[in-house]
Amino acid sequence: MASNTAGVCTTFRKDLLNGSHAFGAQAAGSARTITTRDVFALALYRVTSGLGTSVTSYGATGETTSSGYTAGGATCATTDPAASGNTAYWTPSASISWTNVTMTGSNAVDQALLYNSSSTAKLAIAQFLLGTVDVGQAPSAGTFTLTMPTNDQTTGLIRIT
């Protein structure tokens, strides 16, 4: 059985240098004016999907198929990135929930993929391990919520130092 790994996708680093992602809108007068940010989503993957940092884009292979969950995951509520000291950071501005889902047995999840749903290629950004969920804690026709960390330089979901 393949196991999932967490980390920033290798191609994301290159995509940043190519200007493929707009996490926030820049003020007029910047070297490059971006007036709208991209839309980002989190998709949930089964324990056996075997995702790693070589993933280049969102794909349905290995994604959970629970009722109450829509393929492609859920859109992240976003805010502009920030910086403090030598660290730039970004975190979705709200937790993400799925209701009436069953994530036990063959639909057990342990990973979320953050990707740019605005891009035609659905460019991958990072994978996050959700940890082992005890059978008694996994939702069975219940609510599954991903609580976002504080958006700061030490706990932001994406941090670049």
In a domain, 29, yes or no: no
Cβ–Cβ under 8 Å, residues 55 and 123: no
Establish if 104 belongs to a structural domain. yes
* Residue 113 maps to a domain: yes
Based on the structure, what is the number of domains in the chain?
A: 1
Q: Say what the pLDDT of residue 23 is.
A: 79
Q: How confident is the model at residue 122 (pLDDT cuts 50, 70, 90)?
A: very high
Residue 1 lies in a domain: no
Give the mean pLDDT of 146-151. 92
Confidence of residue 17 (pLDDT cuts 50, 70, 90): low
> 45 is in which domain, residue-wise?
7-24+38-160
Q: Which one has a higher pLDDT value, 98 or 18?
A: 98
Q: What is the pLDDT of residues 27-56, one digit of tens each?
A: 555 666 666 788 999 999 988 888 888 899
What integer pLDDT is reported at residue 28 of this predicted model?
Answer: 56
2 assigned to some structural domain: no
